[in-house]
Structure 1
C-alpha cells in the first residue's frame, strides 16, 4: 500500500471520480435519467484523467489495482457506446459502483514502477491484455443481464423492461469472441517475445500468471467451440464464461495482488 506517496492532484482527481460515480450508484432510484447520465459521464471523464496521470507520471507505475481500474473504465466506455444503440440497456447503477470501487482501489494500491529495461513494445503488449480483460468483463456484465432477463421471464415480469434476451445473448458472445482474439494475441506475444518485451534474462516461464492465462484461454476456447458446434446457451454457457473470467482475473490481477499485497515485493 503506497497511499501516502500518491501526488495530491492524483488524490483529488481520484476522490472526485469516486464521488461522481457514487451519485448514480447510490441514488439511482431518486435521480432523473439525465442527472444520472451526467454524473456517470463526469465520473468516466475524471477516471480517464486519473489513469492518464498514473501512466504518464514519472516514473510510471502499474499493478493489479490499476489494471482493474483500466478494465472498469473500458467497461464503462463500452456501456456509454452501447447506450446510444440500446437505450434500454440497464446497468448504470452497477457499473457506477464498479467504477467507484476500482478507482479508489487503484489509489490505495498504485502498483510498482515499470522496469526500465523493458521494451518499448511492452505497453502495447499490456494494452492488448487489458483490452481482453475489458472485453471479457463486458461479456460477464451482459451475461449477468441475460441471467436477470431469464429470471424476469420465468416470473412473468414486464417483457418491455431492458433489452430482449436474444440481443443480450448475442452481445455476450460478441464480446467474448473479441476478448478471446485479443487474449490469444497477448499470449502468443508473451510466449514468443517475452525476452524482448521484458529485457534480457526474462524468457517466457511457466509461472502462476502463465498457467492461469493458458487455463482461461482453454476454457474460453471450449465455450466458443461449444457455442459454434452445439449451440450452447443459457446457464451452461454463462457458467463456463464465469469460470474462464475468474481464471483470467487470477492470471494477472490475482498474481500481482499476491506479490504486491501479500508478499509485499514488486512483480
Structure 2
C-alpha cells in the first residue's frame, strides 16, 4: 500500500535522507574522498533517524520495503567499520545509491501495522532475521567487488575496490559465516517459539519458511565447499548469489507479492 498520509515532516526527512545518499552516489567523480565520506556519514545518521521513527511510530509498521531499508543501513554500518580498517575500500557510490533507493521505497511502501498482541519473541525473531539479511547483503557487495577485482587483474589493472583480492575474499566469507550463524538462530527461534509466534508447533510452512530453509541449505553447502574443497572465485560467488536470492525471496519477495501485487494487508 502506497503511503499517502504521512506527516510532511516525515516525508521531508525521508527525502532529505535520499538526497544525502544521492550526493556521494551521483557526485563520486567530483568529490574528494573526505567530502564523499562525510556525506555518506550524514546520510547514514539520517537513515538511522528514519528507521527509529518507523520503529516507534504508533502503530509500528513493517513490510518488504522497511526490511530492505534496515538491510541497506546494516550494510552501510559494516562498510563504516571496514572503512576504518581498510581506508582504501572503494564502494561508497554503490552503497549510497542502494541506500537512496531503499529509503524511497520505505517511504512509498511503509508496510502493514504490527498486531498489538504480537508475541514478545517476535522482535527477537525479526532482529535475528534482519541482521542475517544485512550480513549476507554485505557479503554479496563484497562478492561483487571481488568479481570486479578479478576481472581487473586479468586486464593487469588495479583493483577497483582498493583492497587486495585475497583480503576481499576473506572478508566475504567472514560475513557469510556470521550471516549463517544468525540465519541458523533465526530458524531455530522460529522452530522453538513457533506456537507463540504463529500459533503452530514448530515452523509455519509457508513461502517464507521454505525459501529461508533452502537458503540455509545453500549457504551450508557454500561453507562446506569452501572448507572441504577450497571453493573460491566464480563457483563460490554463484552459490553465494543463489543463497542470497533465495533468502531475499523468503521475506522480502513474499511480502512484496502480498503488499504490492495482491494489495493485501497481512
TM over 0.5: yes
Change (3 A) 1:113 1:177: same
Q: TM-score if structure 1 supplies the norm length?
A: 0.96
Report how many residues are paired: 266
Q: What is the deviation of 1:222?
A: 0.3
Change (3 A) 1:159 1:185: closer
Q: How does 1:45-56 map to 2 (within 5 A)?
A: 45-56=45-56
Structure 1 unaligned runs (5+)? none
Q: What is the deviation of 1:2?
A: 2.9
Counterpart of 2:193 in 1: which secondary structure?
Answer: helix
Partner of 1:257: 256
Partner of 2:191: 191
TM-superposition CA deviations, 1:181-214 (whole Å, max 9, x none): 000010111122122124x468632111111001
Whole-angstrom distance in 1 between the partners of 2:34 and 2:178: 31
Partner of 2:41: 41
Structure 2 unaligned runs (5+)? none
Whole-angstrom distance in 1 between the partners of 2:4 and 2:53: 16
Counterpart of 1:59 in 2: which secondary structure?
Answer: coil
Counterpart of 2:4 in 1: which secondary structure?
Answer: helix
Whole-angstrom distance in 1 between the partners of 2:11 and 2:188: 37
> Is 38-47 or 5-14 further displaced after alignment?
5-14
Partner of 1:61: 61
Partner of 1:248: 247
Q: What is the deviation of 1:119?
A: 1.2
Whole-angstrom distance in 1 between the partners of 2:225 and 2:241: 15
Partner of 2:164: 164
Whole-angstrom distance in 1 between the partners of 2:10 and 2:193: 34
Q: TM-score if structure 2 supplies the norm length?
A: 0.97
Whole-angstrom distance in 2 between the partners of 1:107 and 1:160: 33
Q: Does 1:29 align with 2:29?
A: yes
Deviating above 6 A after TM superposition, structure 1's stretches of 4 or more consecutive aligned residues are: none
Q: What is the deviation of 1:56?
A: 0.4
Q: What is the deviation of 1:88?
A: 1.2
Whole-angstrom distance in 2 between the partners of 1:207 and 1:266: 17
Change (3 A) 1:161 1:64: closer
Q: Does 1:219 align with 2:218?
A: yes
Q: How does 1:82-231 map to 2 (within 5 A)?
A: 82-158=82-158, 162-198=162-198, 200=199, 204-231=203-230
